[in-house]
Amino acid sequence: MSTRPTDEGLALSVEVVVFGVDDSDLKLLARRREGEPFAGRWALPGGLVGGDEALEGAARRVLAEAGGVSPAYLEQLYTFGAIDRDPRRRTVSVAYYGLVRLADPRAPASAPEGGAAWFVASAAPRLALDHDEIAATARRRLQAKVRYEPIGFELLPRKFTLSQLQALYEVILERALDKRNFRKKILAMDLLADSGKVEADVARRPARLYRFDERRYRRLCKQGFNFEV
């Protein structure tokens, strides 16, 4: 059936789509390619998988190399294996997507090193190879998953306001949400713990800061609770 066996010239790599939210924009991380083909073009962080390296480990490694990024959430996305997706050599790529907190205590990683940069997701440059397709797949997945798993919190600071949370969902889902209904729904889930604190340094009434209570979430899940926004 197959003429070439697996090993002859087949390479296995990982590519990672990292998202961050910058209060009003969904951003993604890209870096300039060093090697051929397409050296100098923007592409997703990625690289070959070591023979004794776990897949997710490889994903974390390439992120550490690309801008010192350490995602709060990381999940396997899809495996891209079209025969001619890399012109040089048959390459199968296991893609991951990850979420990072961009806005934490006034942005330490907002200027990543190593030739990497954040782009507004809807205005990013064209990426090399099939990386635009990978990024689009990741975006669809994020959009779907954020609605039924509480992963959105991984994009916010540990303490956040309900308005930040709403803005996050609006950015990801690409539609406006009703403020009262949103707050009612989120608070009714009983997943947020009031931190007792409020925003500082704002020229208006400061908002309450909440934390996502993961223990409570897990407990509710065991009782059949389903997150949904």
Partner DNA sequence: CCAAAAGTGTTCACGGTACACCCATGC
Partner DNA sequence: GCATGGGTGTACCGTGAACACTTTTGG
Q: Would you tell me which residues interact with a copy of itself (CB under 8 A)?
A: 1-13, 48-55, 58, 61, 65, 76, 78-79, 81-83, 90, 92, 94
Site for DNA in 111-170 (CB under 7 A): 161-163
- Rounded CA gap, 146 and 141, in Å? 8
3-state secondary structure of 127: coil
Q: CA separation (Å) from 136 to 15, 106, 155, 191?
A: 13, 28, 18, 30
Q: How near is the Cβ of 125 to DNA at its closest, in Å?
A: 30
Phi, psi of 169 (to 5 degrees): -65, -35
Q: Which of 97, 59, 64 is nearest to 78 (CA)?
A: 97
Q: Cβ closer to a copy of itself: 93 or 166? A: 93
Q: How near is the Cβ of 91 to a copy of itself at its closest, in Å?
A: 9
Q: Cβ closer to a copy of itself: 23 or 228? A: 228
Phi, psi of 132 (to 5 degrees): -65, -40
Q: Cβ closer to a copy of itself: 91 or 164? A: 91
Strands 11-21 and 91-100: parallel
Q: Cβ closer to DNA: 140 or 184? A: 184
Q: How near is the Cβ of 166 to DNA at its closest, in Å?
A: 8
3-state secondary structure of 180: helix
Q: Which of 92, 128, 79 is nearest to 9 (CA)?
A: 92
Site for DNA in 163-222 (CB under 7 A): 163, 178-181, 183-185, 198, 202-208
Residues engaged in binding DNA (CB under 7 A): 161-163, 178-181, 183-185, 198, 202-208, 228
